Structure 1
Amino acid sequence: MGNNSSTNTLIGILAGTAIGATLGILFAPDKGVNTRQRISDEALAARDRIAEGAMSARDTIASKASHLRDNIVDSVTHKAQTLDEKVESIVSDASHKTEDVIKTLEAKLEALREKNKKFQKS
Structure 2
Amino acid sequence: MGNNGNTLLGVITGTAIGAALGILFAPDKGSETRKRIATEAELAKHKLSTEATLAKDKLAQTAIDLKDQVVGTATAKKQTLNDQVDELVQNTSHKADDVITTLEKKLAELKVKNKKLQKSS
TM superposition score normalised by structure 1:
0.91
For 2:3, the equivalent position in structure 1 comes to 6
Residue matched to 1:89: 87
Q: Which residue of 2 aligns with 1:70?
A: 68
One-letter amino acid of the counterpart of residue 13, structure 2: G
Gaps of 5+ in 1: none
Aligned-pair identity in percent equals 39
Secondary structure of the 1:30 match is coil
* TM-score (normalizing by structure 2): 0.91
The answer to whether 1:44 aligns with 2:45 is no
Equivalent residue runs for 1:19-58 within 5 Å: 19-27=16-24, 28-58=26-56
Q: For 2:14, what is the secondary structure of its paired residue?
A: helix
Runs of 4+ residues over 4 Å off in structure 1: none
Correspondence for 1:118: 116
Over the residues paired in the alignment, what is the CA RMSD in angstroms?
1.2
Whole-Å Cα distance in 2 between the matches of residues 40 and 53 of structure 1? 20
Structure 2 gaps of 5+ residues are: none
Q: 1-side partners of 2:107 and 2:16: how far apart?
A: 96
Work out the CA distance in 1 between the residues paired with 2:44 and 2:14. Answer: 8
Cα deviation digits, residues 50-88 of structure 1 (max 9, x gap): 000000111111111111111111111111111111111
Q: Structure 2: which amino acid aligns with 1:66?
A: I
Offset, 1:120: 2.6
